[in-house]
Amino acid sequence: MSWIFKFFENITWQEVLFTILIFLTSLAISFLAIVLVIVKLPANYFSSHYQQDFMPDSPFLVRWGAVILKNLLGVFLILLGIVLSLPGIPGQGLLTILLGLIMLDIPGKRPIEAKIISRPSILKAINDLRAKFNKPPLILD
Torsion of CA 78, 49, 51, 138, to 10 degrees: -50
Question: What letter does residue 50 receive in the DSSP assignment?
Answer: -
Question: What letter does residue 55 receive in the DSSP assignment?
Answer: S
Task: State pLDDT tens for residues 41-70.
Answer: 888 887 777 776 667 777 888 888 888 998
pTM here?
0.59
Is pLDDT at 120 greater than 80 in this prediction? yes
Q: Where are the domains of the chain?
A: 31-132
